[in-house]
Amino acid sequence: MGQITKIATTLTDAYIVEPAVYGDHRGFFMESYSEADFQKAGLDYHFVQDNHSLSTQPGVLRGLHFQRGQAAQTKLVRAVTGALLDVIVDLRKGSPTYGKWESFILSASNQRQLLVPKGFAHGFLTLTPDVHFLYKCDNYYDADADGGIAFDDPTLAVNWQLNGTKAILSEKDRHHPSFKEFESHNPFVYGEI
């Protein structure tokens, strides 16, 4: 029954994925993930872990996160309730889009998903209350490989669309290094992950 539409982003190897949605007066049905459909679309990943977060308020900012080395992860992310601004940054040295970012609105109403490749930093800002966020990962979480970059790094200059409001951050996310600090020991190389 399922099928997906794969839409290229401006960043190399990152895609918006739109599953087929079948709706009527009762609501809708969709296959949120089908390995066969993804393979037909040229997205050949084997996901091994599903994660689920809840952010109860608008303005919660989580990120920018990644995992290093053998623990690097490709993620397929989506909002199940509410809406958020999702941001990815290409960290792969030698990539045509190295150091560039792009943002996307993911919401329960648009049902879009974002495929975030290994070697990308990822984060999001909630735009509504009670955002349930799901992500599939092709590698297990490893606390020793956990890394991040400051969400407000001036070199990256991500437009989080905060419009003067203050982001609600975890203690960990308040202390990530700058992009320049990260660059001095960047483990990601385009074509090698």
Give the rounded distance of the alpha carbon of 101 from its chain centre. 11
Q: What is the pLDDT of residues 171-187, one digit of tens each?
A: 999 999 999 999 988 88
Question: In whole numbers, what is the pLDDT of the chain averaged over residues?
Answer: 95
Q: What is the pLDDT of residue 163?
A: 87
The beta-strand segments (E) located in 56-156 are: 61-67, 75-81, 83-90, 101-107, 113-116, 120-126, 131-137, 146-148
Lowest mean pLDDT among 5-19, 20-34, 37-51, 94-108: 20-34
Active site residue 65: yes
Q: Which of 33, 122, 135, 176 is catalytic?
A: 135
Q: What is the pLDDT of residue 1?
A: 59
Active site residue 135: yes
Q: What is the pLDDT of residue 65?
A: 98
Please state the rounded mean pLDDT for residues 114-137.
98
Give percent of the chain with pLDDT exceeding 90. Answer: 91
Q: How far apart are CA 70 and CA 98, in angstroms?
A: 20
Q: Which long-range contacts (CB under 8 A, 24 or more apart) does 181-187 make?
A: 182/91, 182/147, 182/149, 186/91, 186/93, 187/68, 187/69
Q: Which of 15, 33, 65, 176 is catalytic?
A: 65
Q: What is the pLDDT of residues 134-159, one digit of tens each?
A: 999 999 999 999 999 999 999 999 99
Q: Helices marked H in 132-192 — which ranges?
A: 179-183
pLDDT exceeds 80 at position 117: yes
pLDDT exceeds 90 at position 192: no
Q: How far apart are CA 5 and CA 16, in angstroms?
A: 8
Q: Tally the residues of the chain.
A: 193
Please state the rounded mean pLDDT for residues 106-128.
97
